Amino acid sequence: QVQLLELGGGSVQTGGSLTLSCRASGFAAPFSSYSMGWFRQAPGKAREGVALITPTSATSYLGSVKGRYTIARDKAKNTLYLQMHSLQPADTAIYYCAAGGSDCYTRGASGCSDWGQGTQVTVSS
């Protein structure tokens, strides 16, 4: 059974930084063979893809986070990371880690088969 455990959420002030991690276990295939992503959902808003990464480490970012967020994975630790800098109140949301096949990268949330429980990120002004 696949498990994705997000860690690292919290509260910061505008301009601050946080690093989220997602520890993965239970994959049928090697961790590095999955497309993975970070998604977020703010109150009253739809879930949106923030950053995605393929098995070959190609990446894709939501326009509003480009240059501020970096997605990366550590294959030895089966862990996905999201470094977030210059955080703004608009970044406040529950952040979710997700994994899946190639559709997870090309289709976003609807293409990801496995999800973590989420971690809260709150940015105050």
* pLDDT tens per residue, range 54-87: 999 999 999 999 999 999 999 999 999 999 999 9
Instruction: Give tens-digit pLDDT for 5-33.
Output: 999 999 999 999 999 999 999 999 999 99
Q: What is the pLDDT of residues 82-123, one digit of tens each?
A: 999 999 999 999 999 999 999 999 998 999 999 999 999 999
**What are the CA-CA distances from residue 109 to residues 6, 75, 87, 97 (Å)?**
17, 22, 23, 10
CA 61 to chain centroid, in Å, comes to 10
Instruction: List the Cα angle 42/73/2 in 5-degree steps.
Output: 70
Q: Show the CA angle centred on residue 26, arms to residues 22 and 27, nearest 5°.
A: 85
